Structure 1
Amino acid sequence: MKLAVIILTHNEEHHIEACIRSAAFADEILVIDDMSTDRTAELAQSLGARVVTHPLAGDFAGQRNFALMQTDADWVLYVDADERVNEGTEAELRRIMAADARAVYEIKRINIVFGQRMCCGGHRPDYSQRFYPRLAVHWVGCIHEHVVSELPVRRMDGSLLHHTYESWEQYFQKFNQYTTLMAEQRYADGKRSSFLKILFDPPFAFFRFYVLQCGFLDGRLGFILAMFHGFYTMVKYVKLYDLDKGNDPLHMAEDSIKK
C-alpha cells in the first residue's frame, strides 16, 4: 500500500519546509501549487516533493479533486501548508492501511492562533476528514469544501498542528476573501439576506463563540476573535445583501427606514 501526502499551496515559503519535514514518512509528497510567486515550489522540490503547478481559480474542491488524479497512491492524506503532522500519527496511518480498513477518516486539528494554542471558542480543536482511499472520495464546495463518499466516517488517532493566523494582515486578507466567497456561494444557492439578519445574527455569532463554546477560557484573544467572528457574520450578510440589491447601498438605508 502506497501513501501520498498532498499539500495545496500558494505563496507558502514561510510554512512549506516545516510541513514537508513533518510528513517525510510518506511514500510520496505531492505539492499542488497555485502559481506561487515566491520560493514555495523551489523549496518543496529541494526537499524531495513532487510539484505540479495548477491554478486554483477560486475552486478549492476542484483543486483537491485535481490533486487526486496526480498520484497513483492507494491512500492519501491531505495536509495544508500551515499544518504539521504530529508524532505518532504515522503509526496510526500505517496501521489503518495494513488492515485495509477502508473509510473516510477524521483527524484532530489543534489550532495555533497568533502563537497561542486554542482550547475553546471558534478555534477550539476540531476534526477534519483528511485520510482515505484515493479513489473512494470526491470533493465539493468552493469554500469550506468537504468530502463526498460512500464509505463510513471514522475517527482516527493522531493529530495535526494547525498554525493558522500569524499576523493581523493575514487575518483580514482571509477575512475579506472568505466573506466574499461565502456571499457568492449563498447567492448562487438561492439564499438571500435581510436587514434583520444583518442586525441580529452578528451578536448571536459572538455569543455562540464566546459563551456557548467557552471562548472566554482563551483569555483576551478569545474575546477578540469572538468579536471579529460577529463582524465576519455581519460582513458576509452585507455582501450577500449587496449582491441581491444590485450593488446599490441606498436600498439598505431605505429598507432600514421602512422597518
Structure 2
Amino acid sequence: MSTVTVIILAKNEEQNIKDCIDTVGFADEVLVIDDFSTDRTSEIAISMGARVVQHAMNGDWGGQQTFGIKEAKSKWILFLDADERISPALGAEIVAAVNKDEPKAYWIQRRNKFHYNEATHGVLRPDYVLRLMPAEGSYVEGYVHPAIITPYEETKLQGPMYHYTYDNWQQYFNKFNNYTTLAAEKYKAAGKSCSFFKDIIIRPSWAFFKVYILDRGFLDGKMGFILSVNHYFYTMIKYVKLYYLLKSNGKL
C-alpha cells in the first residue's frame, strides 16, 4: 500500500496549525517545514504528531516546497497551507488515489472562506491547485506564485479544500504589501518593462472590470466591491513598485 506525506510550510501559524493537521488524519506523515517561527507553531505541530523541520525560506516559496519534497518519507506528497482544510469527501478521494497508486498528479478545488463573511466570485472565486502527486520527479520553481512541476498525467479530484483566506484587514494588507514587492522584484529580474500609462493607469482598470464584472464579484455585495477595488490597487501598486525599481532602484 502506498503512503502519503502532507507537507505544510509554516511561519508563526499557531492559530491555524492544529485545525489544519486535524483534517489530515489519513496521512502516513505530516511534515511541517517551519521558517523559524517565534510562536508555538512547532510545539503545537509536534504535539499533533507532526515531524517539524526548521528551514529558512528567505522569500523563496518554491525552494522551500522543493526542500519539503526531499524531506518527505512517503511515495506520495500532498501540499497544504496552514490556513487550508481538507474536507472529509476530499480526504476519502486522496486515500483512494494514493492506494490506486497510478502515476498521476491531482488538481484540487480550493474554496475560499471567511469566518464571518462570504465571497465566492470575483477575486475569491473557487480555483484549482495542483497539490497531490508522487514525490519522485516532482519539484517547485518560482518565488511569489510558484509552479509545481511533475512528469505525470494530470487530473482532478472532486471534493473541496477550504481556504480561510484572512482573519483581519491588517493581515490582508501585510500580505498585499509583501506580495506587490515580491511581484515587482520578480518582474524586474525577468527583464519586464513598465509603461506608466499602460501598466499604472490602464491595466488596474481592466483588472477591476475583470474581477467585478466578468468574474461576477458584484454578486458578493459589499465584500465583492471591496475586494475588487483592492485588486485594482494591488495591480497598480505592483507596477508602481516596478516602475520605480527600474527608474531609481526603488528610491523616491
TM-score class, shorter: over 0.9
- What is the match of residue 135 of structure 2? 134
Asked whether the 8 Å contact 1:110–1:117 carries over to 2, the reply is: no
Q: 1 CA distance for matches of 2:171 and 2:81?
A: 16
Q: 2 CA distance for matches of 1:21 and 1:75?
A: 19
- What is the match of residue 196 of structure 2? 195
Q: 1 CA distance for matches of 2:206 and 2:52?
A: 43
Helix, strand or coil at the partner of 2:81:
coil
Q: Which has the larger radius of gyration?
A: 1
User: Match of 1:32, as an amino acid?
Assistant: I
**Matching of residue 120 in structure 1 with residue 121 in structure 2:** yes
User: Match of 2:35, as an amino acid?
Assistant: D
Q: TM-score, normalised by structure 1?
A: 0.93
Q: Counterparts of 1:54-203 in structure 2 under 5 Å?
A: 54-113=55-114, 115-196=116-197, 197-203=199-205
Structure 1 gaps of 5+ residues are 251-259
> How far did residue 13 of structure 1 move?
0.3
Asked whether the 8 Å contact 2:26–2:95 carries over to 1, the reply is: no
Q: 1 CA distance for matches of 2:115 and 2:234?
A: 18
User: Match of 1:155, as an amino acid?
Assistant: K
User: Match of 1:227, as an amino acid?
Assistant: V
Asked whether the 8 Å contact 2:90–2:157 carries over to 1, the reply is: no
> How far did residue 248 of structure 1 move?
6.8
Q: 2 CA distance for matches of 1:47 and 1:173?
A: 29
Runs of 4+ with >6 A deviation? none
Q: 1 CA distance for matches of 2:10 and 2:84?
A: 12
Helix, strand or coil at the partner of 2:248:
coil
User: Match of 2:241, as an amino acid?
Assistant: K
> How far did residue 114 of structure 1 move?
5.3
User: Match of 1:201, as an amino acid?
Assistant: R
- Number of corresponding residues: 250
Q: 1 CA distance for matches of 2:153 and 2:30?
A: 26
Identity %: 46
> How far did residue 200 of structure 1 move?
0.7
> How far did residue 91 of structure 1 move?
1.7
Q: 2 CA distance for matches of 1:173 and 1:93?
A: 33
Aligned CA RMSD, in angstroms, stands at: 1.3
- What is the match of residue 235 of structure 1? 237
User: Match of 1:87, as an amino acid?
Assistant: P
Q: 2 CA distance for matches of 1:249 and 1:5?
A: 42
Asked whether the 8 Å contact 1:107–1:157 carries over to 2, the reply is: yes
Q: TM-score, normalised by structure 2?
A: 0.96
User: Match of 1:244, as an amino acid?
Assistant: L
Helix, strand or coil at the partner of 2:53:
strand
User: Match of 1:239, as an amino acid?
Assistant: K
User: Match of 1:109, as an amino acid?
Assistant: R
- What is the match of residue 217 of structure 1? 219
Q: 1 CA distance for matches of 2:41 and 2:100?
A: 35
